[in-house]
Structure 1
């Protein structure tokens, strides 16, 4: 079984959405604020998928391809 990365980074958001990496950083900060996380905490693939309304399976498929 292949291990799937659980953290989302700005570069991942850039590739998934087709937007800039700067947009990815801004979106991660928005999601952190939404979930009440501190600056040093990570955003998981589940949180990203729920916030953006994307199926978790789609995000995990992408993370498997790039890992």
Structure 2
């Protein structure tokens, strides 16, 4: 029995899959989210933070996330 690994953070490639926009757009959006939440450049953006910022429900995001 193999456990499915659930990621806590989101990457530009995930945002590309979710939004249909470019990976570059995903990087820019992650930077805007970091500023919005007062994060340092080295910190990750969580799936929950992306969901809150984008207004996309968590289940829809998790369906599109790349493993």
Give the TM-score, by structure 2 length: 0.88
Alpha-carbon distance between aligned partners in 2 of 1:2 and 1:61, rounded to the nearest angstrom:
13
Aligned length: 65
Structure showing greater Rg? 2
Superimposed CA distance per residue, residues 15-66 of structure 1 (whole angstroms, 9 cap, x where no aligned partner) = 1101111110100000000000000000000000110000011111222xx2
Give the TM-score, by structure 1 length: 0.88
Residue 2 (structure 1) shift: 2.1
Stretches of structure 2 lacking an aligned partner (at least 5 in a row): none
User: Between Structure 1 and Structure 2, which shows a larger proportion of helix residues?
Assistant: 1
